[in-house]
Amino acid sequence: MGGGRQRVNGETIAGIALVFLALIFIWASTQNPIWAVILPADYLILAIGVGFIVIGVIAIKRTNHPERTSHY
């Protein structure tokens, strides 16, 4: 579809959503002691989100990389 350069993919969008969710949960843990109990899980969600963003960026670079053609 399109044939142009890819700028965003599903992994990147999922990573951004997870990072945003983790930041909201971390903020909630500063407001409520019940949320503070699950703070380690919030940091895990944050790390997973960053991992998805990294995987998405690598996939985009591989997709947009020009194919190597021989000049023979």
Which residue, 22, 7, 4, is CA-closest to 56?
7
In a domain, 4, yes or no: no
Give per-residue burial for 10-21: e unless 16+ CB within 10 Å, then b: ebbebbeebbee
Coil/strand/helix, residue 57: helix
- Pick the more confident residue, 19 or 62: 19
pTM: 0.80
As for how many domains the chain has, the answer is: 1
In a domain, 42, yes or no: yes
In a domain, 70, yes or no: no
Is the separation of the CB atoms in 48 and 19 below 8 Å?
Answer: no
Which residue, 49, 48, 27, 50, is CA-closest to 38?
27
In a domain, 1, yes or no: no
In what helix (H) or strand (E) does residue 21 lie, and over which residues does it extend? helix 10-31
pLDDT in tens, 23-63: 999 999 999 999 899 999 999 999 999 999 999 999 888 88
Residue 14 pLDDT level (bands cut at 50, 70, 90): very high
Residue 4 pLDDT level (bands cut at 50, 70, 90): low
In a domain, 72, yes or no: no
Residue 71 has pLDDT above 70, yes or no: no
| Domain carrying residue 57 | 10-63
